[in-house]
Every structure is written in structure tokens, then in C-alpha cells.
């Protein structure tokens, strides 16, 4: 399992932005998933809705659209052998969204804690289910769901109807056709769920319960899928390589060596297997042993920003922040997405050099990062340290206040905002930001 403690200081971090849902932040995987979802959303006419992607740190297979965001479990990426398999599931979820099948769900979301319901749909466990079932409206709707047994009942309450499943399948095939992709992967995934031999029993249950898979649905889906001229079409090789690299990273963080070896059993010396090995060595061994492994990969793909980013992480662990800063800077320059995560890593490495001459640049990079990505609360933590090292204590306190604020710790945020105000010029924009935090209403527990 990926644990927040292991991930807190790495490129691949679990954020505490939501208390119920363990979110994974990673520039490489986020860019890949965005490339999977964007063409599908455009084909569905939803391209202008600015639907975001959230990676959920869970081994189980799930994907879920709530109207504003697409949630994808890292386990779903890990279990999908090709991009096409997960793209098919995204297309199906988009079909539910475009078809307005979520009206009932929206009703439920209005009444319950949104994150709690989403957590339940994603199969994230009883703690979250308990939070939702304490809501009397939900308990009533489910016919008096008792805590504990509530999870399954709740999920079936929120499950799609058979007619909606058929409609979502048809829409999905339409989007895949429009984007020149095969529906074979979707069929493969759903056949796997429908078969008794599903990979890990309970792990796929949450998706299976919310998306009923009777035999005739699979049969209809297969007929439609085979009618497409794209049925035998494969994913572009470059996309498959990126998919394998993302799976290698997830496996290294969550499953360990055995998982990497299992995924790449047919290509044990391929790029994915070696990337997984380099990351695993960095996480669990001596970072100095990981360095030559990542260097070989950089030599093979000198323009891959994420190999450079990983080298930066390895150098940080090897207590070489100056070297890490050089790598992160190159990664940021190579990154076509301009991920704020990579910029913040660059800023963090500059800050960690402890060299006063680097602090201005560190603050610049970290500020640019948190402005674009304020919910990544760790970014404010690094910014607070950089301000502290450059002697700007008021701004350091304010950044700490923001770190707590975006992590949902409002009381702690207010303490630091109050202290920041004593050190900031009254009425200045920063002082006013502190006042906003002080004025935040605290939610009742
Ligand atoms: Zn469905």
C-alpha cells in the first residue's frame, strides 16, 4: 500500500486535501490520465466543462465521474494492461455523465457529505460509509441503513439502472469511434468483471455494484464493439510506453518488486520494468544505487521530464539538493504540461540547499506552484520554510496558515494567520489574506 508517510516527501504524494479520500499527486500520471480523458470529453461535447482528474490512492479497480471531476483509482491503472482498457471505462463513465444518469446521485450528494458518498462509490471502506450513513436523509432513503452494513446498501442505492448501463455503453462506443479508438479494451475490462474469475474478489465489488453487469449487457456490448472499424486497432506505441511507465511507478510505490515483476513478466528488461526497479531501489534501498539505474533511462529518453524529476527525487534523498535542483529545473523545462508539481519540486530543492542566494528563486517557483495548485497544501509548507530561511517571518506564518487551511485544518490555520497579522503591514494584501482565514467559518463536527 502507498502510505502517506512514505509519500510525503516525494514526487508521488498522497495529499491530505480531503480527509476521506486519499489522493495521489503525480505529474507523470496526471498528464497521462488527462491525455486519456480529454479526447473522450471533447467527443461527448463536455470539453468546455473543465472537468478535472483526481487520482485516488486505492488498489481496487474504480473510476467515477461526479460532474466536475473524474476520479480514477491507481488500482484501475495498474490493472489495465493497455491504455485502451482504462480509456474504455472512462468513456463509459462519461456516457453516464453526458446522459444525465446522475440526477439521483446528485440528490444524494446534496444531502450527504459529498466526499463521503464519493468515497463509498470508490469502495474506500467503512469509515467513510459510516460518515455518510450518519446522515438521516440518506439512512431514510436506504430504508434505515445501519452503520456497518450500510456500505453495500448505499452503493446499490447509488447504482445505475440497466437501461442507463446500456445507454452508457452505446455512448462510450460512440465516443471511442469519434476518437478513432477501439471498444475492445472496455469489453475486456467488463468481461473481466463479469467473470467469476475476477482478479481479487472483493476488490472489484465497488465498481461491479454500481455498474450491474448482466450477461446480456456484455453480449450487446460485444456486438456493438465488433461493428466498429477500429475494433482491432491498437493504442499508439508511445502511449502504451507511457502507460507502462505509469504502472511501473504505481507498482513500485504500492506493490513492490513482486508487483513490478508480475506486470512486466513478458518484458522484464523493458523500459517499464527498469523504471519500476529504479523507483523501487530509490524508495527501499540506497539512493546511490538508484542513480545509475535512472541515468540509463535518461540516456535512452533524454527528453522525458519525469525521468529527470525522478532523478531529482533520488538526489534529494541522497542529500544533494543542489544536484536535485538542476534536475528539477531541466524537468520543468522539458515538461510540455508545465506541471506545478515539478515547479514546486524545483523550488523545494532550491530551498533545501539552505543557500541564501537561492531563496528568492525558491520562493518564486513555490509561489508560482501554489497559485496554480493551491490545494496541494504541502507546497505552502515548503513556501513557509523558504520565507523563514530568508527572514520573512510574517509571510512564513501566512504560508503555514495557508498550508493548514488547504489541508482542512481551519483552527490551526487561524492560529498562524493571527500570528502572521502581527508581523504584516496592516491592510496589505497579505494581511487581508490572513484576515480571510481568520474569518473562515469553522464547520460543525
Ligand atoms: Zn455504468
Reduced to 3 states (helix: H, G, I; strand: E, B; else coil), residue 71 is strand
How much distance in Å is there from the Cα of 163 to the middle of ligand 1? 10
How much distance in Å is there from the Cα of 196 to the middle of ligand 1? 19
How much distance in Å is there from the Cα of 72 to the middle of ligand 1? 14
Distance CA 240, CA 222 (A): 23
Comparing C-alpha atoms, which of 383, 379, 401 is closest to residue 392?
383
How much distance in Å is there from the Cα of 325 to the middle of ligand 1? 45
Neighbours of 361 (CB within 10 A): 16
For residue 67, what pLDDT is reported? 72
Distance CA 72, CA 127 (A): 20
Neighbours of 265 (CB within 10 A): 9
Reduced to 3 states (helix: H, G, I; strand: E, B; else coil), residue 285 is coil
Residues 281-318 as b/e (b if ≥16 CB within 10 A, e otherwise) read bbbeeebeebbebbeebbeeeeebbbbbbbbbbbbbbb
Distance CA 41, CA 1 (A): 31
Cβ neighbours of residue 365 closer than 8 Å, sequence gap 6 or more: 343, 344, 346, 347, 350
How much distance in Å is there from the Cα of 255 to the middle of ligand 1? 28
How much distance in Å is there from the Cα of 215 to the middle of ligand 1? 14
For residue 207, what pLDDT is reported? 75
Is the Cα dihedral 421, 423, 429, 430 positive or negative? negative
For residue 156, what pLDDT is reported? 57
How much distance in Å is there from the Cα of 111 to the middle of ligand 1? 23
For residue 51, what pLDDT is reported? 85
- From first to last of its 445 residues, the chain has per-residue pLDDT tens of 222 322 222 333 344 333 457 889 999 999 999 999 999 999 999 988 888 888 988 888 888 877 778 889 999 999 999 999 999 999 999 998 898 887 666 666 666 556 666 666 666 543 333 333 333 333 333 323 333 445 555 555 567 778 888 999 999 999 999 999 999 999 998 888 777 554 544 455 667 767 777 788 889 999 999 999 999 999 999 999 999 999 999 999 987 889 999 999 999 999 999 999 999 999 998 999 999 999 999 999 999 999 999 999 999 999 999 999 999 999 999 999 999 999 999 999 999 999 999 999 999 999 999 999 888 889 999 999 999 999 999 999 999 999 999 888 999 999 999 999 999 999 999 999 999 999 998 755 4
Distance CA 423, CA 90 (A): 49
**Contact present, 111 and 209 (Cβ < 8 Å):** no
For residue 408, what pLDDT is reported? 85
How much distance in Å is there from the Cα of 92 to the middle of ligand 1? 6
Q: Longest C-alpha distance within the chain, in Å? A: 69
**Contact present, 315 and 325 (Cβ < 8 Å):** no
Reduced to 3 states (helix: H, G, I; strand: E, B; else coil), residue 433 is helix
Reduced to 3 states (helix: H, G, I; strand: E, B; else coil), residue 117 is helix
For residue 121, what pLDDT is reported? 64
Reduced to 3 states (helix: H, G, I; strand: E, B; else coil), residue 367 is helix
For residue 154, what pLDDT is reported? 57
Reduced to 3 states (helix: H, G, I; strand: E, B; else coil), residue 336 is coil
How much distance in Å is there from the Cα of 361 to the middle of ligand 1? 48
How much distance in Å is there from the Cα of 156 to the middle of ligand 1? 12
CA distances from 155 to 129, 151, 209 (A): 10, 6, 7
H/E stretch holding 52: strand 52-56
How much distance in Å is there from the Cα of 160 to the middle of ligand 1? 6
How much distance in Å is there from the Cα of 90 to the middle of ligand 1? 10
How much distance in Å is there from the Cα of 151 to the middle of ligand 1? 18
Amino acid at each position: 500500500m502507498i502510505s502517506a508517510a512514505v509519500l510525503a516527501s516525494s514526487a508521488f504524494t498522497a495529499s491530505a486535501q480531503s480527509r476521506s479520500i486519499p489522493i495521489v499527486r503525480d505529474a507523470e500520471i496526471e498528464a497521462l490520465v488527462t491525455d486519456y480523458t480529454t479526447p473522450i470529453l471533447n467527443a461527448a461535447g463536455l470539453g468546455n466543462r473543465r472537468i478535472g482528474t483526481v487520482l485516488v490512492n486505492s488498489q481496487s479497480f474504480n473510476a467515477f465521474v461526479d460532474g466536475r471531476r473524474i476520479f480514477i483509482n491507481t488500482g484501475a491503472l495498474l490493472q489495465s494492461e493497455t491504455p485502451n482498457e482504462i480509456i474504455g471505462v472512462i468513456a463509459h463513465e462519461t456516457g453516464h455523465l453526458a446522459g444525465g444518469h446522475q440526477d439521483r446521485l446528485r440528490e444524494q450528494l446534496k444531502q450527504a457529505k459529498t466526499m463521503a458518498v464519493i468515497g463509498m462509490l470508490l469502495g474506500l471502506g467503512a469509515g467513510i460509509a459510516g460518515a455518510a450513513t450518519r446522515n438521516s436523509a440518506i439512512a431514510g432513503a436506504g430504508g434505515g441503513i445501519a452503520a456497518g452494513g450500510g456500505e453495500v446498501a448505499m452503493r446499490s442505492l447509488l447504482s445505475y439502472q440497466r437501461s442507463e448501463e446500456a445507454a452508457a455503453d452505446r455512448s462510450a462506443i460512440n465516443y471511442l469511434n469519434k476518437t478513432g479508438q477501439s471498444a475492445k479494451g472496455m469489453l475486456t475490462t467488463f468481461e473481466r468483471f463479469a467473470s467469476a474469475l475476477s482478479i481479487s474478489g472483493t476488490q472489484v465489488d465497488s465498481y461491479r455494484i454500481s455498474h450491474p453487469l448482466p450477461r446480456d449487457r456484455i453480449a450487446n456490448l460485444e456486438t456493438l464493439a465488433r461493428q466498429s472499424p477500429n475494433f482491432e486497432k491498437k493504442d499508439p506505441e508511445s502511449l502504451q510506453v507511457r502507460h507502462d511507465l505509469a504502472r511501473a511507478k504505481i507498482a513500485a510505490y504500492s506493490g513492490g518488486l513482486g508487483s513490478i515483476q508480475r506486470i512486466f513478466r513478458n518484458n522484464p528488461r523493458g523500459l517499464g520494468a527498469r523504471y519500476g526497479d529504479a523507483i523501487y531501489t530509490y524508495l527501499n534501498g540506497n539512493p546511490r544505487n538508484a542513480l545509475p539505474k535512472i541515468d540509463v533511462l535518461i540516456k535512452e529518453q533524454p527528453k522525458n521530464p519525469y525521468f529527470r524529476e525522478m532523478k531529482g527525487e533520488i538526489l534529494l534523498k541522497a542529500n544533494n539538493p543542489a544536484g536535485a535542483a538542476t534536475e528539477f529545473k531541466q524537468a520543468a523545462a522539458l515538461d510540455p504540461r508545465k506541471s506545478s508539481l515539478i515547479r514546486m519540486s524545483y523550488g523545494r530543492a532550491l530551498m533545501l540547499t539552505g543557500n541564501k542566494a537561492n531563496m528568492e528563486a525558491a520562493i518564486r517557483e513555490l509561489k508560482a506552484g501554489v497559485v496554480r495548485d493551491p490545494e496541494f497544501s504541502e507546497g505552502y509548507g515548503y513556501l513557509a520554510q523558504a520565507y523563514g530561511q530568508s527572514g520573512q517571518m510574517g509571510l512564513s506564518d501566512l504560508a503555514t496558515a495557508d498550508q493548514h487551511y488547504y489541508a482542512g485544518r481551519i483552527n490551526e490555520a487561524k492560529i498562524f494567520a493571527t500570528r502572521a497579522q502581527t508581523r504584516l503591514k496592516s491592510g496589505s494584501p497579505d494581511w487581508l489574506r490572513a484576515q480571510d482565514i481568520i474569518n473562515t467559518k469553522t464547520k460543525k463536527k
